[in-house]
Amino acid sequence: MADFAIQRVGADAGLVHRNLEARPSAHYFLRASLGINDLEEVMGKLRLGFGTLARRTSGKPSLAKTEVVQLYTHFRTSVGLFLQASLTTKSTHSPSFLTGRKGRAARHEPNIIPSQVASSTSSALTNPGKGD
């Protein structure tokens, strides 16, 4: 059973919510893998990024599962690198993909995920129609 949902299509694509009765055709239903205790919180923080990605279509806004995984993976990688750097340099700057110049939200093109990161991260996404 899923813990929460992300709207996949429509004007609110990227919206994170707990309505598990939502239409499966318009939502991704997620459950955190063991050891990931903040998946819903992180996905909520990525709402702006999901909305930006969803509007990059010629039709109705929509998110591909790969886009969700890429943005989540990039967030985890960037925050990890930021924390590691801040411990060694005592930097007070935010990760570059969170803010742009003058504190505005930055536009970010997700990088292609290395296969070992993608496979471990994509296990956090579930599809309730597939026996979960």
Q: Give all strands of the β-sheet with 16-17 in edge-to-edge order.
A: 16-17, 4-7, 27-30, 125-126
What's the mean pLDDT in 43-50?
Answer: 90
Q: Is residue 108 included in any domain, yes or no?
A: yes
User: Quick check: 30 pLDDT over 60?
Assistant: yes
What 3-state class would DSSP assign to 114?
coil
Q: Is residue 26 part of a domain?
A: yes
Our count of domains for the chain comes to 1
What confidence category does residue 62 fall into, taking pLDDT thresholds of 50, 70 and 90?
Answer: very high
Domain assignment present for 41: yes
Give, as one character, the DSSP assignment of residue 32: P
Which carries the bigger pLDDT value, residue 125 or residue 99? 125
Flag whether 89 is in a domain: yes
pTM of the model: 0.61
Q: Which of 105, 101, 14 is nearest to 55 (CA)?
A: 14
Banded model confidence at residue 124, pLDDT cuts 50, 70, 90: very low
Tell me whether residue 65 is in a domain: yes
The residue range of the domain holding 69 is: 4-123
132 within some domain: no
